[in-house]
Amino acid sequence: MDYQAVLDEVAAYARPYAGQGEVADYIPALERVSPDRFGIALVDIGGAVYGAGDWETPFSVQSISKAFSLALVMAHAHDDDIWSRVGREPSGTPFNSLVQLEWENGIPRNPFINAGALVVTDRLQTLTGDASTTMLHFLREESGNEDLAFDQAVADSEADHGNRNAALAHFMASFGNLENPVPSVIEHYFWQCSIEMSCRDLATAGGFLARHGLRADGTRLLEAREAKRINAVMLTCGTYDAAGEFAYRVGLPAKSGVGGGILAVVPGRCTLCVWSPGLDRRGNSVAGAAALDHFTTLTGWSVF
């Protein structure tokens, strides 16, 4: 398949959608990003890289980081301990909702809503002693980009407007579902979300999910069944409370972020990352979802 020709066609199709939706203005540092940007990258399992549009422009990964924190926890522990503290079911509520935590005794529905990601970050902090730096080093290695860094302005912005996340963390701590002090967990969570990466970087770094757990250097990060499970939860929970609609349209495991990025996986073939900052009311990139929908339509590649 001529990947470049496919991406060029996908970019042309999606470009009119760029600028639709709203940027994440509740995080002031993200509000300043132009909503009409668009980029897409594809990395096949052999490491060949293709891109179109603004595919090498760095942006804030935000919740896409949640897929990597879960993978690192599973890689360090190689057991199912984390699943006693966080579920695997779609939430059906917004990603920062407090409602279900009270009903379900402080156990978040899945690792990709904010409450679940805080639990995963807490576990990674226990396992490594420095959750955010562990993730940054991993992403540098897998992307091949040693210049990846935290964005201080974004981290500070999230901290200044992070009362809802603090409430989630304190509520879970009251049920005994955090191992580390709440301020430390929140700090590492914000730093992880603030990492800046391009579509090229993210598609390359996520390649282990397409290679059934193998890292870029051929060593094994995850057992094949662990990679399968992460992909499964990405499919059912990775695009907030629009996961069913996304699966219907696109048919791929994916994790979105309110920075406008979406990382998608075609197991055994490739990973893709698309970026456009304009979000729908569920927090997913309007142009990004349209692009991935068109990609799977053109190629016939989905998990269905």
Catalytic residues: 63, 66, 189, 240, 258
Report d(CA 138, CA 140) in Å as an integer. Answer: 5
Question: Rounded to 10 degrees, what is the CA torsion of 291, 157, 236, 149?
Answer: 70
- 258 labeled part of a ligand binding site: yes
Q: CA-to-CA distance for 12 and 23, rounded, in angstroms?
A: 22
Flag whether 240 is marked binding: yes
* Residue 145 annotated as part of some ligand binding site: no
- Classify burial at 167, counting beta carbons within 10 Å of its beta carbon; exposed 0-12, middle 13-18, buried 19 or more: middle
158 belongs to an annotated ligand binding site: yes
**Rg (the chain; Cα; Å):** 17
Angle between helices 65-77 and 182-194 (to 10 degrees): 120
Distance of CA 151 to the CA centre of its chain: 17
Number of Cβ atoms within 10 Å of the Cβ of 108? 26
Query: Is 63 annotated as ligand-binding?
Result: yes
Residues annotated within a binding site: 63, 114, 158, 165, 189, 240, 258
Binding region for substrate: 63, 114, 158, 165, 189, 240, 258
